[in-house]
Amino acid sequence: MHASQGRSAGLGLALASAFAFGGSGVAAKPLIEAGLDPLHVVWLRVTGAALVMLPVAWRHRALVRSRPVLLLGFGLLAVAGVQAFYFAAISRVPVGVALLVEYLAPALVLGWVRFVQRRPVTRAAAVGVVLAVGGLACVVEVWAGLSFDVVGLLLALGAACCQVGYFVLSDQGSGESAAGAESPHPVGVIAYGLLIGAAVLTVVARPWDMDWSLLGGSTTMNGTDVPAWLLLLWIVLLATVIAYVTGVISVRMLSPAVAGVVACLEAVIATVLAWVLLGEHLAAPQLIGGALVLFGAFIAQSSTPKGPSGPFASGPGGELVGTEGELSADRPAS
């Protein structure tokens, strides 16, 4: 009875995490269209969340000495890299398209495993890659000569590559857990990842050049005026802090595989929210292509060869789904 209740609660938290991550682009795009630079929006998101998580970082300060490489990898790639590329992408292409491009990450991981590490991959994994790439061709409508902004698509692909870099980093460190070393606390890693990401983005984004007055004004969501500060709170508290924490807890209560499947709903949620709140409609072939991307990404992710304790898996918004006992933070997305 208790196990069933725990599983139901875990699924609920996983769904909440997918919903929270899926709304990040929808809340950020009106701020960007109001005049804020995408990097400034990313800086506000990451820095605001880092300040909220400061007490957690202090509690797990031992991680600075024991896992500095993991913290740097999470901060540079899973936080700063993914979010900066993703927000820059949605300033040029629809939210749903940018997020679906990020779902190529599991397929790119398989490419790394097969051609760089020279490890065999399963036939199912190859099929997943083909489906994901074919679905992406439908999403960007290649038959129309790439009707979307090519730069925007490359930025979204950059976000996917940042996730791949973090997967590789995580895989390289998996031997420590196999050797019996204590696993890092996932919420502590998230807290330090946000702090490192905020520090890096402060140098890159130069927030002192930002037009702060825009945050006191209004933005438009599909014709409706919304206070800019309200969207900022949405991005910081709901789409970052709550999204990461509920994702971590859900992976611990379920399993990485189950949580990873639920995380795939993030792209669906983001597309629906963008349709309803931003008026970004996708054509039927794009919706079909999106379904193929998600299905292919799921197959590729579930078929990735595991190391001694398994590499990390991820959803596209920056949410990371680790193996049992490893760091688990169910997107960063996005």
Query: Which sign does the torsion angle of CA 240, 135, 85, 69 carry?
Result: positive
Asked if residue 321 belongs to a domain, the reply is no
How many angstroms from the chain centroid is the CA of residue 259? Answer: 14
Asked if residue 324 belongs to a domain, the reply is no
Which residues lie below 8 Å from residue 206, measured CB to CB, with a gap of 6+? Answer: none
Distance CA 192, CA 174 (A): 19
pLDDT confidence of residue 251: 66
pLDDT confidence of residue 312: 38
Residue 54: pLDDT band by 50, 70, 90 thresholds? Answer: very high
pLDDT confidence of residue 308: 39
Asked if residue 334 belongs to a domain, the reply is no
- Exposure on the CB side of residue 94, measured as CA atoms within 13 A: 25
Q: What is the pLDDT of residues 228-282, one digit of tens each?
A: 999 999 999 999 999 888 877 776 676 555 555 566 677 778 888 888 888 888 7
Residue 55: pLDDT band by 50, 70, 90 thresholds? Answer: very high
Asked if residue 316 belongs to a domain, the reply is no
Q: What is the pLDDT of residues 107-124, one digit of tens each?
A: 777 777 777 777 777 777
Asked if residue 325 belongs to a domain, the reply is no
Least confident among 17-21, 37-41, 188-192, 226-230: 17-21
Least confident among 153-167, 241-255, 281-295: 241-255
Q: What percent of the chain shows pLDDT beyond 70? A: 75
Distance CA 202, CA 199 (A): 5
- Exposure on the CB side of residue 332, measured as CA atoms within 13 A: 35
* 103/331: higher pLDDT: 103
pLDDT confidence of residue 124: 78
DSSP state of 27: H
Asked if residue 328 belongs to a domain, the reply is no
Alpha-carbon dihedral angle through residues 136, 126, 161, 70, given to the nearest 10 degrees: 140
**Averaged over 145-172, what is the pLDDT?**
76
Examine the pLDDT at 301 and tell me if it is beyond 60: yes
Examine the pLDDT at 221 and tell me if it is beyond 60: yes
pLDDT confidence of residue 319: 40
Cα separations in angstroms, 42 against 49, 105, 137, 257, 292? 11, 21, 28, 29, 29
Residue 178: pLDDT band by 50, 70, 90 thresholds? Answer: very low
* 160/58: higher pLDDT: 58
Structural domain including 48 reads 1-176+184-302
Asked if residue 192 belongs to a domain, the reply is yes
Residue 138: pLDDT band by 50, 70, 90 thresholds? Answer: confident
pLDDT confidence of residue 239: 92
* Number of domains within the chain: 1
Asked if residue 263 belongs to a domain, the reply is yes
pLDDT confidence of residue 291: 85
- Termini Cα distance of the chain: 35
Query: Which sign does the torsion angle of CA 71, 77, 78, 81 carry?
Result: positive
Distance CA 318, CA 21 (A): 9
**What is the average pLDDT value for the chain, to the nearest integer?**
78
Q: What is the pLDDT of residues 302-327, one digit of tens each?
A: 665 554 333 333 343 434 333 333 44
* 261/291: higher pLDDT: 291
Which residues lie below 8 Å from residue 287, measured CB to CB, with a gap of 6+? Answer: 271
To 5 degrees, how large is the angle CA 250–CA 198–CA 249? 10
Distance CA 245, CA 232 (A): 18
**Averaged over 29-53, what is the pLDDT?**
94
Among 221, 240, 217, 202, which Cα is nearest to 29's?
221
pLDDT confidence of residue 147: 61
Distance CA 228, CA 218 (A): 5
